[in-house]
Amino acid sequence: MKLAKKVVIAALVLPLTVATASAYAFGGGKGHHKGDFDRCGGLDKKVFRQLDLTSEQQVQLKQMRESSREEMKAQFQSNFESKRAEMQASHQKMQALVLADTFDAQAANELAQEMVAQQAERRVGMLEQRHKMLSILTPEQKVKLQELQAERMDNCLTKMQSRMSK
């Protein structure tokens, strides 16, 4: 019973955590939440510096980051009350589920499916934004990007493996 509650709580907390990271993933925040862009083989400022971008490409990327940031702010401000109500309703569903005398697996699955759909929607938005960013690269820069990402992925996996073997 306790394990089931922990699994449900983890299933509910994970998408909220991902949502927060997603909000800051593209050019966002002063914190350390950089989403997928800073993970193994991801995109960050260091990678773009190594691609030898032209000044025009740098300006385009900067404009994309700024416009994306403004869009996110506007979207957040325009939908704040509805999102707040939605989050509160979701939280209440979760609380009712985990605090009930008996665990309702069907209700937990339905709630988890709602969360998965929301997360998928956010991921599609992130992929669309990444596509826009990478569309300004030349074919040669795209090849170099793939090489840099593969190299970073190998380094990251090596570090992970060494940490796990300790």
In the predicted structure, residue 36 carries a pLDDT above the cut 50: no
Angle between helices 55-78 and 105-134 (to 10 degrees): 150
Q: How does DSSP classify residue 165?
A: T
In the predicted structure, residue 154 carries a pLDDT above the cut 60: yes
Q: Give per-residue pLDDT as tens, 97-107.
A: 888 889 888 98
In the predicted structure, residue 8 carries a pLDDT above the cut 90: no
In the predicted structure, residue 115 carries a pLDDT above the cut 50: yes
Q: Please answer whether residues 142 and 43 qualify as being in contact, where contact means their C-beta atoms are separated by less than 8 angstroms.
A: no
Q: Would you state the pLDDT for residue 131? A: 92
Tell me the pLDDT band of 124, cut-offs 50, 70 and 90: very high
- pTM listed for this prediction: 0.58
What is the three-class DSSP state of 120? helix
> So where are the chain's domains?
2-159
State which H helix or E strand residue 19 sits in. helix 2-25
In the predicted structure, residue 18 carries a pLDDT above the cut 90: no
Amino acid at 160: M
What b/e sequence results for 39-68 when a residue is b if at least 16 CB atoms lie within 10 Å of its CB, and e otherwise?
Answer: eebbbeeebbeebebeeebeebbeebeeeb
